[in-house]
């Protein structure tokens, strides 16, 4: 294993999964900060020249660049090392306190059903585009839920981008029909398609760590409307003639085509990384034991011994995660009744490495080489956006006009750079854990009775006990070694595979059965003080015989002898 553990602080030190990514982030922070510093000098020059308004605009751009650089720098600092302290990673379900009784919906519906069914649940696609995605990449269904959600959003956004590129191509080929108004028509077409493209690109960028229903980004009505607009839109806008107002932002279809092509590269690199590192169908075996026990004591003792057995197996003395504790309840005031008990515990999740060279690289959700290509592309977009920011401020200081296209292009490049870094981070920031999940369940019917010990007429020591007789109690045990993943040290953890542990299950069952069948049901004198008093009582009882006339006086002489 490639990790360090400190028993004093109970911290895990992971191999940094973002060790290459963080350097690209640092380089992007340097580029943004350097560009902001240069723009500040541009604002200083404009201020000396007396162009106060232009200097203020340049200063605002410099401030925005400094904020971007500071955000990237703080992101770099947070990625230097990952510590997993006490309580991390999060549990597979809501956890119980050491003395707390109860269960939760997560323990019942997720953990117990997963062990009982010996199968993992894979949510079905909820929209046609997602169905097409899993048809093209069948093994993607086995990926963790966050990766699947991110892939669905990337795929849908990529389809939208392709549709917009096709719409731009159709509009350029067919044209508007009137050359005197072609420039305005082209700008309006670009603006409308740009507005259509923004929501899909934004959702694809922000949906990397969440799963859920599909976006329905390109439904059948939207596709039909896009096709109709691509064919009829230029002609309809050209018919307005001089009534068509000038566009608020001067962006051309060629500029939009280039921006969409840059966005399409991100989607292509993402799927190239995922396809090159797909996950095969995982193992879902679980060791299950079922037995029938006859006992004469309360079955709550089984729960107590189970907890002692679990504590004996604590990894590095770290307490297990307890998700369910339902102790069997026996009411001795009733002659008969039913009981139910259940316990679910997970050993401390231990980090481990699935692949890599020398056990140093943690498993990621994409091909490492292509992920680094995404990082390089993100840095390239950052440099492109920084150049655009410098040219934008230079044009602003020079008093240039019609900078709308330059402004849109610069902002779009910054957004694409952030999206590319998010894609690389989402594919890489994955932590794998191995732990043992154990579920014990018992149920049956009990009969209550009272049993006496000793003769009440001839013995000085007798006792009675309330006993519980359980015939045919059903005992069940499920044990599995689970492989779980979390995206981020505070991210939700998901089970991705299971492996049965027959030796552990058999040993635990034997221990519990041997313990409960060796318990006595009758009350007996057990302490040293009780044993001394019982011995003294027996000696006194032996000296008092029925033939002795002084027996009634015991150890004391009759009154006439005093």
pLDDT at 441: 94
Average pLDDT over residues 80-103: 83
Tokens of 198: 């923004």
Mean pLDDT, all residues of the chain: 77
pLDDT band, residue 8 (cuts 50/70/90): very low
CA distance 550 to 336: 51
Q: What is the pLDDT of residue 503?
A: 93
Give the pLDDT score at 381. Answer: 93
What DSSP line would sit under 247-262, residue for residue? PSS---HHHHHHHHHH
- CB–CB of 484/493 below 8 Å? yes
pLDDT tens readout for residues 57-78? 888 888 989 999 999 898 888 7
Q: What percent of the chain has pLDDT over 70?
A: 68
Q: How far apart are CA 189 and CA 260, in angstroms?
A: 14
- Where does the pLDDT of residue 376 fall: very low under 50, low under 70, confident under 90, or very high at 90 and above? very high
Long-range contacts made by residues 60-66, C-beta under 8 angstroms, separation at least 24? 61/389, 61/392, 61/393, 61/396, 62/36, 62/37, 62/393, 63/36, 64/36, 65/32, 65/33, 65/35, 65/36, 65/39, 65/386, 65/389, 66/32, 66/33, 66/36
For 265-310, the pLDDT digits (tens) are: 988 888 888 777 666 788 889 999 999 988 888 888 899 999 999 9
CB 256 within 8 A of CB 186: no
pLDDT of 207-221, one tens digit each?
A: 443 434 334 445 566
| Residue range 298-357, pLDDT digits in tens | 888 899 999 999 998 888 788 899 999 999 888 877 778 888 999 999 998 887 755 444
pLDDT of residue 553: 42
User: How do residues 131-181 score in pLDDT, each as one tens digit?
Assistant: 888 888 888 888 888 888 888 888 888 887 887 787 777 766 766 555 555
- In the structure, what pLDDT confidence band is assigned to residue 240 with cuts at 50, 70 and 90? low
Who wins on pLDDT, 521 or 188?
A: 188
Residue 378's pLDDT band (cuts 50, 70, 90) = very high
3-class SS shares of the chain: helix, strand, coil, % to 5: 50, 15, 30
> Considering just the CA atoms, what is the radius of gyration of the chain in Å?
37
So what's the pLDDT on residue 359?
Answer: 40
- Taking the C-alpha atoms of residue 256 and residue 253, their distance in angstroms, rounded to an integer, is 5
Contacts of 405 (CB under 8 A, 6+ apart): 249, 250, 251, 252, 255
Query: Tokens 């409960």 sit at which residue?
Result: 516
How do residues 382-431 score in pLDDT, each as one tens digit?
Answer: 999 999 888 888 888 777 666 777 888 888 889 889 888 988 888 888 88
Residue among 530, 502, 362 at smallest CA distance from 16: 362
Q: What's the CA gap between 397 and 267, in Å, rounded?
A: 36
Q: Indicate the pLDDT class of residue 121, thresholds 50, 70 and 90.
A: confident
pTM for the whole structure: 0.74
Is 525:461 a contact under the CB 8 Å cutoff? yes
């Amino acid at each position: 294993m490639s990790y360090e553990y400190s028993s004093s602080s109970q911290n895990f030190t992971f191999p940094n999964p973002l060790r290459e990514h963080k350097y690209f982030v640092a380089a992007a922070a340097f580029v943004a900060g350097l560009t902001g510093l240069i723009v500040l000098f541009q604002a200083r020059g404009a201020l000396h020249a007396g162009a106060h308004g232009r200097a203020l605009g340049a200063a605002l751009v410099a401030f925005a660049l400094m904020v971007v650089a500071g955000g990237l720098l703080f992101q770099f600092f947070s990625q230097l090392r990952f510590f997993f302290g006490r309580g991390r990673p999060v549990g597979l379900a809501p956890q119980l306190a050491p003395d707390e009784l109860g269960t939760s919906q997560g323990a019942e519906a997720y953990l117990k059903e997963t062990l009982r069914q010996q199968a993992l649940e894979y949510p079905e696609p909820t929209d046609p585009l997602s169905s097409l995605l899993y048809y093209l990449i069948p093994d993607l269904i086995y990926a963790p839920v966050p990766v699947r959600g991110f892939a669905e959003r990337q795929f849908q956004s990529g389809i939208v981008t392709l549709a917009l590129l096709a719409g731009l191509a159709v509009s350029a080929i067919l044209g508007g029909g009137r050359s005197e108004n072609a420039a305005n028509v082209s700008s309006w077409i670009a603006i409308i398609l740009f507005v259509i493209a923004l929501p899909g690109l934004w959702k694809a960028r922000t949906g990397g760590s969440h799963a859920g229903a599909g976006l329905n980004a390109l439904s059948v009505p939207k596709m039909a409307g896009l096709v109709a607009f691509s064919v009829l839109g230029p002609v309809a806008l050209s018919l307005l003639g001089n009534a068509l107002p000038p566009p608020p932002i001067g962006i051309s279809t060629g500029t939009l085509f280039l921006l969409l092509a840059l966005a399409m590269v991100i989607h292509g690199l993402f799927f190239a990384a995922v396809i090159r590192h797909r996950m095969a169908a995982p193992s879902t075996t679980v060791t299950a034991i079922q037995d029938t026990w006859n006992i004469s004591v309360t079955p709550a003792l089984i729960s107590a011994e189970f907890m002692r057995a679990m504590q004996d197996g604590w990894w590095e003395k770290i307490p297990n995660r307890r998700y369910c504790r339902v102790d069997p309840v026996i009411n001795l005031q009733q002659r008969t009744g039913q009981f139910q008990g259940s316990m679910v515990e997970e050993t401390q999740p231990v980090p481990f490495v699935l692949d890599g060279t020398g056990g140093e690289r943690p498993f990621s959700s994409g091909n490492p080489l292509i992920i680094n290509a995404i990082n390089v592309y993100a840095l390239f977009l950052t440099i492109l956006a920084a150049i655009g920011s410098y040219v934008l401020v230079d044009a602003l200081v020079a008093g240039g006009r019609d900078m709308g296209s330059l402004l849109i292009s610069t902002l779009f490049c910054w957004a694409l750079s952030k999206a590319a870094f998010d894609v690389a981070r989402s594919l890489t920031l994955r932590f794998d854990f191995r732990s043992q999940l154990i579920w014990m369940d018992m149920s049956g019917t009990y009969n209550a009775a009272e049993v006496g010990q000793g003769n009440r007429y001839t013995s000085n020591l007798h006792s009675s006990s309330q006993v519980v007789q359980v015939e045919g109690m059903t005992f069940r045990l499920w044990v599995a070694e689970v492989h779980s993943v979390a995206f981020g040290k505070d991210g939700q953890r998901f089970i991705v595979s299971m492996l049965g542990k027959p030796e552990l299950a058999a040993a635990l069952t034997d221990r519990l059965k041997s313990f409960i069948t060796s318990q006595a049901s009758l009350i007996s004198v057990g302490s040293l003080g009780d044993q001394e008093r019982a011995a003294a009582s027996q000696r006194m009882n032996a000296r008092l015989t029925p033939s002795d006339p002084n027996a009634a006086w015991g150890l004391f002489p009759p009154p006439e002898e005093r």
